Amino acid sequence: MSRLAPQPGRNTPAPPGLSRAFGLSRGSVALSGEAFEEPNWRSEGMGRKEPLLEEMVILLGPLLLVFMLGLGLAPLSLAKDEDRYTHFLTQHYDAKPKGRDGRYCESIMKQRGLTRPCKEVNTFIHGTRNDIKAICNDKNGEPYNNFRRSKSPFQITTCKHKGGSNRPPCGYRATAGFRTIAVACENGLPVHFDESFIITSQ
């Protein structure tokens, strides 16, 4: 009887690379006295990964997840700082003040939503937005404790509650001045007014 040649697609042993990739070369079958490797499809399945690939997925998977979470959270935190900056401008920025006296304070404090309850002290800065923002970098600021102090002075008006009830209508006194100021910065943006300093001549 003639020897049967191995039939491609039937009992042909898979090439070594393929065998590894698909988890072959487990079982064997004898055909006319010759042993052929037969894939062990049932026990290993088509989806079996390379051990090295598996290890990489296990090791790098969590790292990738943290990286993706970081990418997703960074814009959220930036958006939050933008909101705080907008809030800072509402509370402390007035480009063109009128009067800078008690009536000015009473009117602007109400207009900016700072009278429910009456805020005790609040300063309005009358510079440009760019000069105020620049306090958070070297252009117009320097470190001052946990805050940043402006290099240049600003025209400011500080409104102080006259006292009594903290419910509206709120009475204020105004102090106008030309002073350096200290602010807190987050991600390069001012978010809190800390204090102002009388400029002493050197």
Cα radius of gyration (the chain) = 37
Torsion of CA 128, 141, 76, 125, to 10 degrees: -30
Q: Is the distance from CB of 27 to CB of 38 less than 8 angstroms?
A: yes
Figure out which of the listed residues 18, 66, 74, 121 binds ligand U2P, where binding follows CB under 6 A: 121
Helices (H), the chain: 16-22, 41-44, 51-92, 102-111, 129-133
Under rule CB under 6 A, residue 199 binds ligand U2P: no
Instruction: Say which of 87, 126, 161, 192 is annotated catalytic.
Output: 192
Closer to ligand U2P by CB, 105 or 134: give it. 105
Figure out which of the listed residues 122, 140, 150, 157 binds ligand U2P, where binding follows CB under 6 A: 122
Under rule CB under 6 A, residue 192 binds ligand U2P: yes
Figure out which of the listed residues 123, 150, 157, 180 binds ligand U2P, where binding follows CB under 6 A: 123
Distance CA 107, CA 63 (A): 54
- Encoded one letter per residue, x for contact with ligand U2P by CB under 6 A and - for no contact, window 24-63 reads ----------------------------------------
**Residue 150 pairs with which residues in a beta bridge?**
141
SS3 of 39-53: the string is CCHHHHCCCCCCHHH
Residue 88 beta carbon to ligand U2P: minimum distance, rounded to whole angstroms: 7
Q: With CB under 6 A as the contact rule, which of the stretches 5-13, 16-24, 131-139, 188-196 interacts with ligand U2P? A: 188-196
Q: Is the distance from CB of 161 to CB of 175 less than 8 angstroms?
A: no
123 CB neighbour count, 10 Å cutoff: 20
| Residues 79 to 118 in contact with ligand U2P, rule: CB under 6 A | 91
145 CB neighbour count, 10 Å cutoff: 8
Under rule CB under 6 A, residue 154 binds ligand U2P: no
Active site annotation includes 87: no
Active site annotation includes 126: no
Figure out which of the listed residues 115, 140, 150, 158 binds ligand U2P, where binding follows CB under 6 A: 158
Active site residues: 92, 192
Residue ranges binding ligand U2P (CB under 6 A): 91, 121-123, 158, 192-193, 195-196
